Structure 1
């Protein structure tokens, strides 16, 4: 037929027939013949065609329908039950695969009527339609084979025919990831008049993991009345799980309405979800609605005019960890078929995200656009009022400004931290954004300043660097970023900082690059500051996130160092800060030249120092991807020259072989280990005096986190000063520093040092003290005041002598120390020469308790040491005094280094025995330089009177010492008893003087005199020495049995330890038993003559050991010689034996 159809069409293109002779027929006849032939042919053809079409109507219909479906690639099958001029009936319609059809209909009945030559559909009945719908995991709907029948949406407006439509027993099978849903639908009525249809998905549940449905259901209602049509779809689910996203208590409603000619239309959607949880989204009480109205164009479904509105509410909504509380979003839009305008507002009670929390967040914007090319322009204003940074961000800010305590940057960092911390507690943030799209280029940019202004007055402002260009522009296609901006921080106590980026560029798969300058103009706190004027800055960030910041130029730091100050510490920066993996700070070209304007510490002031700061292990500081810190720095051959503070301004110098610092720990808990190799401080106090402190090593481990602390040690130190009596060496110990009430406090613990006396100037001089050890030394340096304490121990015997406390003011250089020895007991194991070599050979065999207190004061100009020694019954021997016992008293020293005292020092002596024992003495003296003693007064109770020493100055340790002892008002009886003279009794009062020459071995009496005071006294010898004597000797002994003298004198010369020449002269008369004068003066004829009251003159010269001189009378072997001494000069040597006990009662009268 096609072929015939094609042929018929081709015959119409042949030229009209001509007469044989080429002439046209005659008009009338030819017209009649033509019409007749044409009518006949038409009638026959029409009848034949109608018959043919009627006979072949089923195959033709099948061909047309099958061809239309095949043309769209749809596999289909159907059967035509009937076809006539009024309608068609199809049955067993199938679309899609035979085994699993996408659509199947048991029967379709269609009726139409003819309006002229055009049929018009009047009714349609669809029986048992079944539709299979597939919903994949991406949420896409598929109708299977029917998808191929979809056309690209057109703009031609269509109309809904007003027909009778009946749908019976319809079913839909929805294949979803969680399971298969079954729906039923049916409807009946005339469209535009009384049509209604309903569909329903019964409540269903499909438990599962990633995909699940609990108690889900849906209802669809379609109504067509008043020449319009409307629908409403309600869907609910107690819980729906889709690819891990979970909703609870969800309600959705979709509605739409339009007239049958679709001249206008309305669409609405509303939802209410109790809870939504997904990977990057969560919401509670999430609800909203969207509605749109449009007036269609005359020949197109596209809108001529339109308007839309929408709202969204949520009690809580979280997007990418950004949470809104009580969110409200409203938007409106309107326009024509060519352009539109929209506006929107957003508000919430709280926003928590982007590292901040806002109690009054809001935003609004407006947008104008064109449909043809989608060009647009718009503006947005974001406002986050009553904001504060969240706790983590504030903690990161605090960590960015660690507590450096007494370091130079400590006050500036602390003030910046306080200012930014306070500013972060309450501020308002506004960000204006603009948008434009033209020629398929989309741009989002910041053309006006964005600002965060705190309640404290601090502000952070981002603004365009140039007036004719935005600060930042983000552009598509790309995306790309470019701009020029200024970022300024000021006010509220925050540092005044300005970052000016002349260029900032970025593109996809390309690094971000920026260049500019950084200025720190007014970063100050008290007497500390950090300044950098136009520090060059270059920033590069690679697509991988790795990047670097280069800083070039000088930065100046001024601030405290402990209780001192650093001024204008200015490193000339040329460093790079690199990150990912981790981060590190490295010098770009070797070491960093560093200038030191000034350094004041511990009463010293240094100025104009220069050194090189070099990196250890290629990084000044670094951290790996786990935030473990490393790197460090070193300064080699450090040398600083300066002066002491104060009017003297003595020159000072600090040197060190090297000073190194190594970082360890973690970010936020940093440890900086500092080590100085052979540090040395020397101060030239005057032309001949240089004070020097040197250490082999000084370490400090600084821990910097929320707070800071330093722990360190010092090793093998020495302290030398010619003004001191000795030097200090092997100084070892540990130290620490930490803040206390915001002030740095330095503590020294477990300190130890050896104190050695200076070498004597000459061989004759001895060292002031034996080596001492300072042990258990502890010290605290707080606010410029050093307080120290410790023990003083004999180094050789480890015997603790004393404890000390000390104070020093580092600002004034004034200090004091007190040494207290509360109880030093001298024994055989502890002697003074073990404390001071100057006591050796001078004092020995010391026994007994003593205590001492020494007070030492110093300034920058001099040092003074005073003290006192308390003797509590000390006994000892000296080179010239073999026995000194029970010495008590307080000796005050006005110069401990020279061992001198003021005049008037007084002690009591229980017993002094240089050969003659004296007791209960009182000695007043003064210690003079060069080991001299000025005896001002010395008196002892002796023999009922007093033995005193005349004032004299002696030098301790010399070979000879001359003293003069005076005897005053001695009682003769007491003297006899003190001298332990046997068989002799005496009365009377005596006086005298004994010049003594004291040596290391003995004492010499030089012209010592003892004489009786006026009034005389008595002598009585009652011993047996003269019992067998005869002659003159007998007369002498008889006279001495009771003798009253009126004058008596003794003269002594000689060695107390050896022979003493004693001359005794006394005169008087016997008063005891009568003396028989017969042997010397016989009277003839009278016989035996005895007399009383005979005057005698005794003149005796005796050489004998001094200690036995008093017993001479008990050992006289020739008493006659005694009497002969009155007439001659005979020397009598008397040997004295150990005497028997003395009978103190005088002999009776014979």
Structure 2
């Protein structure tokens, strides 16, 4: 009896090897070892839940039952039935185990207990319907030969990783040090079941079998778990079913572990999993070995998914050492980058010291790659972003070539890894992704990844890219201990059409703070926004810090191009050197935004624009963003020779900030050869906001380029200009600079895309007075008009496009008074229409109506026709005025304005009535009749001197009459004198002719000839007169006198309303040289008074003491 009890106690008191749970945990936790299990027929009767219950294994339950059975058998053998209850109860009480049972039979060979309840009867830990213990006497004592358990039920819990079977814990956890061994005992279990409540879910198990536990036990085990959860992973409908056997003390299990689904969070999922297990343990359970065949349905992990997974593994576990080989195959392994039709991995793993050290090596192979949409989409997005640049065709070609090469590509890689508590390393001796053409698209060699403690990861290795139509890049990344990570790469010339890109060398290093520095050079050709570049050489020199800040070019950098075209601008071989300001890099981009600061030496570029030569030059330039821009002596020249278009800027300054870009400019001077106008002294302020360039407070000087100037310089203040959406708009008010008189308002618009534009001119009203004269606007008015009084208004328009420039204008005045070379003009009015305003060309037959004109005799209500051509030639089509009963006509003539030439004004007089002529001259003592016609040429030589040449006035038939009707106040003449005066005081003539010759500013010779002379009715008749009347008489008079004095000698010395002689006004000298441009009125008044006194003295001197005509007393003497 004591030996049986000791056997039972020794069996249940043994401890499991401490490393066995870890080994099983490793195998079950491996993602490829998680499979579906199904327990067939696991009919479990739930027991009331009790807090703190732990999980019960069937081996431990058997030990408890054997303890009861053996103890009971020993006592029964000695004392039989009378003392059985007392002995068993005492033993259980000694161990503190609460139990109830019934003794059905006690005999030497068979003991039967029924209705066994261990633990609280209301919440039992173990119940057994029936226990049979077959004994065989040995050495006089009973020995247990077989134990039969009928419908045992075990209830337990697993909490905080610890198994508890309630009351049986006192039998299971005895603290013994003996090695584990299965007892040499036959055991039969009929319908054994267990229910374990755990933190991971409820487990139900069913076991049936029989045989010797040391050798020969066979049975079936089924375990089910509706839901198992560990951390954020859970399995649904998990089950384990298989055959259990023990041979030579070594337990063996063979059967499937299955589950419907396995999920870890929302990222890892596996469906319909199964692991076919074949496990063999050593007799002491210290070693476990076996094989596993894996098969699952669809699965997914972060960034990847598979349609199915299968594989197999052989493994062994002994004393904390796991060794396993594996071969896995995934079907339709898909990521966002592509899908492999088949992906295989095989290799070997080893774990030591309970997984404190984990290592392995293997090979992976993927075949039948179908590229995903993500790489193509990323490249397509990059291509769209780079549209219009040389990168677009390169990316497009790479995208197409990559899609072609990756279709059906093959991945092959060897690897090894090692992990300890302090270090993780992964070595890839060789890895390559071969495209459909057989070329390596991406390759790695001698690659190693290492991570130690909390430090930064390290990576060493070589890489290369290639394939048909793909860029060929090779490089190496390495990091020596204690040194920064460095990367060296180069890219061969990559060409797509006209685009090409090459990186001869690029070196990048990463410090311990994560900052990356890089240095290299890029060569590029192809499209750039708005044009193209060829042979561009761009240095790369900068850093990328751990906070995301990029800094480029800390020293002076030279940028080169072989050719550059932007729009219609084409540069040849050029270079520019940019230097940073101070210790800052040229460019910095980070949390504070973009920063740029650079300076250059004076720039001088030669290019072509639209086939025409272009010259760009500036002084030293300094620019910073945000900050300022400053340059001087800027020059832009387009064209060559006389056709060059030029813009010069004396100074350009700007303030550049995020919300403001603007500044000032000075000494701007654009030059357009096609436009005969020059702008100079341009200055103002400018601003660039929301895509609009605005100029304000602009001042400039506008001059005529023609020689001589057609107009005097004009200036503008507070002009405005804007450039928006490729359209320039400008407004300015042009003034005469000295008087500040507003001349014209200009509104301009120009489309840069089409080269078309227009300018509207508006003359609101230019008023001429004593302070402002036409010569203030144009020197050409000198010698043509003077003393202008009145207002001129009008409009003009200038249009230009690719075909050329056109302009027009219309100007008018209601009343103008002026002095011209042929006399003063009053109340001139009319409209002048320009067909070419810039060219100063008018339409033919322009007319001006003239109120009065006074070439010596005031003429009223005339009309003048003319045409101006190119501002150089004035064609006078003629003019006509009513004149004293007849007409005065100015014949057509041509004047070349601004040129030294002789000009002839031919005046035709038709039907001049002598009586009205005498009346107009207010010669009250004279009376005349007769009608005169004639032609008077007025010639002005190159020096501006005026002459009458061959002027002729002839009387019409039948002649006329000339009589003195005033009273004589003279003393009588001699008899003959009185006779002659009385006889000739009233003359009748048949024919009269007046010839005019001589300078207007000098002595004019007037020759008067009368024929067919006879006495008029008022003449005194006598015998002498009657005798003379029978004779043919001809009277000829020669008169020499200055022209201006001759015309008005009977009224006054000078007529203040007539046009003054420029010599008498002090404007020109006797030889025609210009003395001054404006009249000095005080000097003129003094000169006039002196001339009047001199003339009066001359008259008195010629008269002497006696009058030239004798007094009337002489008539009596006759």
1:693 pairs, out of 648, 654, 673, with: 648
Structure 1 contact 933–956 (Cα < 8 Å) conserved: no
RMSD over aligned Cα atoms: 6.9
Residues 1054-1085 of structure 1: per-residue CA shift (max 9 Å, x gap): 9999999988776779999x76958x6799xx
CA distance in 2, matches of 1:818, 1:942: 47
Structure 1 contact 609–641 (Cα < 8 Å) conserved: yes
Check if 1:638 corresponds to 2:636.
no
SS at match of 2:363: strand
What pairs up with 1:994-1013 in 2 under 5 angstroms?
A: 995=938, 1009-1013=952-956
CA distance in 1, matches of 2:833, 2:16: 133
Task: Compute the displacement of 1:252 (Å).
Answer: 2.7
1:679 pairs, out of 634, 646, 650, with: 634
Residues 702-736 of structure 1: per-residue CA shift (max 9 Å, x gap): 99xxxxx9976662142276977645222446587
Aligned to 1:1126: none
Task: Compute the displacement of 1:1012 (Å).
Answer: 0.7
Check if 1:345 corresponds to 2:330.
yes
Residues 196-245 of structure 1: per-residue CA shift (max 9 Å, x gap): 4353869xxxxxxxxxx9xx9846241416852322323259xx8x87x5
Check if 1:618 corresponds to 2:603.
no
Aligned to 1:485: 463
Aligned to 2:828: 886
Structure 2 contact 223–241 (Cα < 8 Å) conserved: yes
Aligned to 1:718: 668
SS at match of 1:378: strand
Aligned to 1:575: 541
Relative to structure 1, the CA distance from residue 947 to residue 973 in structure 2 (aligned partners, 3 Å threshold; closer, same or farther) is: farther
1:591 pairs, out of 552, 556, 576, with: 556
Aligned to 1:271: 260
CA distance in 2, matches of 1:342, 1:268: 19
Task: Compute the displacement of 1:195 (Å).
Answer: 1.9
Check if 1:771 corresponds to 2:754.
no
2:222 pairs, out of 208, 231, 243, with: 231
What pairs up with 1:7-156 in 2 under 5 angstroms?
A: 83-84=74-75, 89=88, 90-92=91-93, 111=133, 113-114=135-136, 116=138, 118-123=143-148, 131=156, 133-135=158-160
Relative to structure 1, the CA distance from residue 688 to residue 81 in structure 2 (aligned partners, 3 Å threshold; closer, same or farther) is: closer
What pairs up with 1:737-776 in 2 under 5 angstroms?
A: 752-757=698-703, 768-772=712-716, 775-776=719-720
Structure 1 contact 989–1017 (Cα < 8 Å) conserved: no
CA distance in 2, matches of 1:294, 1:988: 153
Structure 1 contact 968–990 (Cα < 8 Å) conserved: yes
What pairs up with 1:645-684 in 2 under 5 angstroms?
A: 652=615, 654-662=617-625, 676=631, 678-681=633-636
1:912 pairs, out of 853, 863, 887, with: 853
2:959 pairs, out of 1005, 1009, 1016, with: 1016
CA distance in 1, matches of 2:495, 2:630: 33
Relative to structure 1, the CA distance from residue 869 to residue 124 in structure 2 (aligned partners, 3 Å threshold; closer, same or farther) is: closer
Aligned to 2:104: none
Structure 1 contact 950–966 (Cα < 8 Å) conserved: no
Task: Compute the displacement of 1:365 (Å).
Answer: 0.5
Structure 2 contact 736–776 (Cα < 8 Å) conserved: no
Relative to structure 1, the CA distance from residue 152 to residue 1057 in structure 2 (aligned partners, 3 Å threshold; closer, same or farther) is: farther
Structure 1 contact 480–508 (Cα < 8 Å) conserved: no
Structure 2 contact 678–702 (Cα < 8 Å) conserved: yes
Aligned to 2:518: 549
Relative to structure 1, the CA distance from residue 313 to residue 1063 in structure 2 (aligned partners, 3 Å threshold; closer, same or farther) is: same
SS at match of 1:619: coil
Check if 1:293 corresponds to 2:245.
no
What pairs up with 1:417-432 in 2 under 5 angstroms?
A: 428=406, 432=411
Relative to structure 1, the CA distance from residue 631 to residue 1077 in structure 2 (aligned partners, 3 Å threshold; closer, same or farther) is: closer
CA distance in 2, matches of 1:722, 1:711: 28
Relative to structure 1, the CA distance from residue 1019 to residue 949 in structure 2 (aligned partners, 3 Å threshold; closer, same or farther) is: same
CA distance in 2, matches of 1:924, 1:718: 39
SS at match of 1:771: strand
SS at match of 2:389: helix
Task: Compute the displacement of 1:754 (Å).
Answer: 0.8
CA distance in 1, matches of 2:664, 2:953: 70
SS at match of 2:390: helix
Structure 1 contact 1101–1131 (Cα < 8 Å) conserved: no
Relative to structure 1, the CA distance from residue 135 to residue 1071 in structure 2 (aligned partners, 3 Å threshold; closer, same or farther) is: farther
Task: Compute the displacement of 1:311 (Å).
Answer: 0.8
SS at match of 1:162: strand
Task: Compute the displacement of 1:580 (Å).
Answer: 1.0
Aligned to 1:827: 767
The one of the two structures with greater contact order (alpha-carbon pairs below 8 A, sep at least 6) is 2
2:682 pairs, out of 730, 733, 744, with: 730
Task: Compute the displacement of 1:1043 (Å).
Answer: 9.0
Relative to structure 1, the CA distance from residue 1082 to residue 890 in structure 2 (aligned partners, 3 Å threshold; closer, same or farther) is: closer
CA distance in 1, matches of 2:326, 2:646: 86
Residues 529-551 of structure 1: per-residue CA shift (max 9 Å, x gap): 55446x22223335654333332
Structure 1 contact 710–738 (Cα < 8 Å) conserved: no
Structure 1 contact 530–556 (Cα < 8 Å) conserved: yes
Aligned to 1:793: 734
Task: Compute the displacement of 1:330 (Å).
Answer: 1.8
What pairs up with 1:680-1079 in 2 under 5 angstroms?
A: 680-681=635-636, 685=640, 693-697=648-652, 715-719=665-669, 726-732=678-684, 734=686, 752-757=698-703, 768-772=712-716, 775-778=719-722, 791=732, 793-794=734-735, 796=737, 797=740, 799=742, 801=744, 803=746, 821=761, 823=763, 825-828=765-768, 832-836=774-778, 838-839=780-781, 842-849=785-792, 851=794, 875-878=816-819, 880=821, 881-883=823-825, 885-886=827-828, 888=830, 907-910=847-850, 911-918=852-859, 919-924=861-866, 940-943=881-884, 944-948=886-890, 965-970=907-912, 986=929, 988-993=931-936, 995=938, 1009-1016=952-959, 1045-1049=989-993
Structure 1 contact 499–518 (Cα < 8 Å) conserved: yes
Aligned to 1:333: 312
Aligned to 1:449: 432
Relative to structure 1, the CA distance from residue 218 to residue 57 in structure 2 (aligned partners, 3 Å threshold; closer, same or farther) is: closer
CA distance in 2, matches of 1:770, 1:115: 142
More strand by share: 1
Relative to structure 1, the CA distance from residue 388 to residue 544 in structure 2 (aligned partners, 3 Å threshold; closer, same or farther) is: farther
Q: TM-score, normalised by structure 1?
A: 0.61
Number of residues of Structure 1 aligned to a counterpart in Structure 2: 918
Aligned to 1:505: 478
Structure 1 contact 636–658 (Cα < 8 Å) conserved: yes
SS at match of 1:84: helix
Unaligned runs of 5+ residues in structure 2 are: 19-53, 55-62, 78-83, 99-118, 211-217, 317-322, 353-358, 1053-1105, 1111-1118
Relative to structure 1, the CA distance from residue 367 to residue 612 in structure 2 (aligned partners, 3 Å threshold; closer, same or farther) is: same
Check if 1:463 corresponds to 2:407.
no
Residues 1-50 of structure 1: per-residue CA shift (max 9 Å, x gap): xxxxxxxxxxxxxxxxxxxxxxxxxxxxxxxxxxxxxxxxxxxxxxxxxx
Aligned to 2:447: 472
Unaligned runs of 5+ residues in structure 1 are: 1-52, 164-190, 203-212, 404-409, 465-469, 665-671, 704-708, 740-745, 1084-1088, 1113-1128, 1134-1150
SS at match of 2:328: strand
Residues 964-991 of structure 1: per-residue CA shift (max 9 Å, x gap): 5342344567767877888978564532
Relative to structure 1, the CA distance from residue 512 to residue 112 in structure 2 (aligned partners, 3 Å threshold; closer, same or farther) is: farther
Relative to structure 1, the CA distance from residue 549 to residue 1062 in structure 2 (aligned partners, 3 Å threshold; closer, same or farther) is: closer
SS at match of 2:713: coil
Structure 1 contact 1044–1069 (Cα < 8 Å) conserved: yes
CA distance in 2, matches of 1:512, 1:299: 53
Relative to structure 1, the CA distance from residue 318 to residue 148 in structure 2 (aligned partners, 3 Å threshold; closer, same or farther) is: same
Aligned to 1:385: 370
Range with greater deviation from structure 2 (786-795 or 630-639): 786-795
